[in-house]
Amino acid sequence: MKHTIVKRLHFCYGHRLMNYDGKCAHPHGHNGILEVELSREKLDSRGMVYDFTEVKRHIQEFLDREIDHKMLLREDDPMVKVLRDIGEPVFVMSENPTAENIAQLIFKAAKEKGLPVVAVRLWETPDAFAEYQEDNSDHYV
């Protein structure tokens, strides 16, 4: 058995996908909804998996610093140089800035903060999300 919580956060970002034949090959933006799922077998001394306020602080700090209101672009996208040259905020990724890769990026940031994260879901639109989770039983400590 385990206890699970989910913290929902909102952020805005722009992106475009390279090597893609469709609308997302063009620059566009999203109002993303992020769900960070944390889990533990045993609650802490306060009776919590993790304090929601602390989850928000850790994740929001990463979002605000790295990707909120920025263009997320793959490192070989010619827009990187153009946007930087005019002083626009850009977050450069080694892979395409898909919802799947953004969810993985945020998952890894949460792990680095020591959060007992088991999954990150990024709702790119009201009816479509990508989820990243690692298949590793030591998440449930």
- Is 124 marked active-site? yes
CB neighbours of residue 28 within 10 Å: 11
- Is 139 marked active-site? no
Q: Which residues contact 59 (CB under 8 A, 6 or more apart)?
A: 7, 9, 34, 36, 106, 109, 110, 113, 115
Helices and strands counted in the chain (H then E)? 3, 6
Query: Which of 15, 37, 58, 124 is labelled catalytic?
Result: 124
- Is 75 marked active-site? no
In the numeric block, which tokens belong to residue 22?
A: 């469709």
For residues 119 and 29, give the distance between their C-alpha atoms in angstroms, rounded to a whole number.
24
Query: Which of 69, 88, 95, 134 is labelled catalytic?
Result: 69
Query: Which of 3, 24, 30, 131 is labelled catalytic?
Result: 24
Q: Which residues are catalytic?
A: 24, 69, 124
